[in-house]
A and B are shown apart, each in its own frame.
Chain A
Amino acid sequence: SQQGEEDPQALSIQEGENATMNCSYKTSINNLQWYRQNSGRGLVHLILIRSNEREKHSGRLRVTLDTSKKSSSLLITASRAADTASYFCATPGVGNEKLTFGTGTRLTIIP
């Protein structure tokens, strides 16, 4: 079963614009992770935010976490064509033994 659910399922924006995607989850967590998947390739870890953090930055990425609403958002600023990919949130199970991935947001950057 999916723990996380991303919204929107698909997003198309012009190059240079900002892209925001959201993730909602169901149970209490101690961290939330975001991954990127280029078409047909393996996932790549982007950023991890701990449950005691509200916001985290990494380059053009900004992640927020609201544990009261069980939601997270990923903002990509000044988008580039190379950002075209699917983005997944992932939440840990008990004891951080495994991750459960959402269904992903497919982001298309229009040059």
Chain B
Amino acid sequence: DADVTQTPRNRITKTGKRIMLECSQTKGHDRMYWYRQDPGLGLRLIYYSFDVKDINKGEISDGYSVSRQAQAKFSLSLESAIPNQTALYFCATSDAGRTSYNEQFFGPGTRLTVL
């Protein structure tokens, strides 16, 4: 979905490096999410944010941090990357504040490899 963009699309890094993945959206949505996907598995929620001042941990937040710089921007950081953080990372947005249901719109993903 071109309304949700992620940079970089691919990244190879080394163990111990700090990495930042960025997400931007033009949908005007309040809610933003970071997920990781491992081969053969579904998506697991890392962090989510309902607005700039509201950040919440997901089920696998250890080793990650986030920053909601503006309504449209939500960044994910790996403080000290390790090989088991090699995965496909997705950002998503939703407008659940105005509707009853949490239909989510996904970015194209960032493929991260930690050597």
Q: Using CB atoms and an 8 Å cutoff, list the residues of chain A in contact with chain B.
A: 1-2, 4, 30-31, 33, 40-45, 48, 50, 88, 90, 92, 96-104
Identify which of A41, A90, A99, A101 gathers the most chain B CB atoms within 10 Å of its CB.
A99
How distant is B84 from chain A, measured CB to nearest CB, in Å? 18
- What range describes how many residues of B lie at the interface? 20 to 34
Given contacts A33-B103, A43-B90, A92-B102, contact A98 B109 (CB under 8 A): no
Within 8 A of A (CB), among B57-99: 58-59, 88, 90, 92, 96
- Quick one: given A42-B109, A44-B1, are A101 and B42 in contact (CB under 8 Å)? yes
B88 touches A40 (CB 8 A): yes
Partner pick for A42 among B41, B59, B101, B107, CB 8 A cutoff: B107
Query: In the complex, what residue of chain A is closest to B40 when comparing beta carbons?
Result: A103
**In the docked arrangement, what's the CA distance between A76 and B33, Å?**
29
Residues of B within 8 A of A45 (CB): 103-105
Determine which residue in B92, B102, B108 has the highest number of CB atoms from chain A within 10 A of its CB, and name it: B102
Closest residue of chain B to A99 (Cβ to Cβ) is B102
Query: Within the complex, what minimum Cβ distance (angstroms) separates A16 from chain B?
Result: 28
Q: Inside 8 A of B92's CB, which chain A residues have their CB?
A: 42-43
**Alpha-carbon gap, A48 to B102, bound state (A):** 10
B102 touching A41, Cβ below 8 Å: no
Select B102's contact among A43, A44, A98, beta carbons within 8 Å: A98
Known A40-B88, A40-B111, A44-B1: A98·B58 in contact at CB below 8 Å: yes
Closest A residue, CB atoms, query B48:
A98
Inter-chain contacts of A96 with B (CB < 8 A): 96, 100-102
For the complex, give the distance between the alpha carbons of A90 and B104 in Å.
Answer: 10
CA distance A2 to B35 in the complex (A): 13
Residues of A within 8 A of B42 (CB): 2, 4, 88, 101-104
Q: What residue in chain A is nearest B50 (Cβ atoms)?
A: A97
Q: A97 contacts B48, CB within 8 Å? A: yes
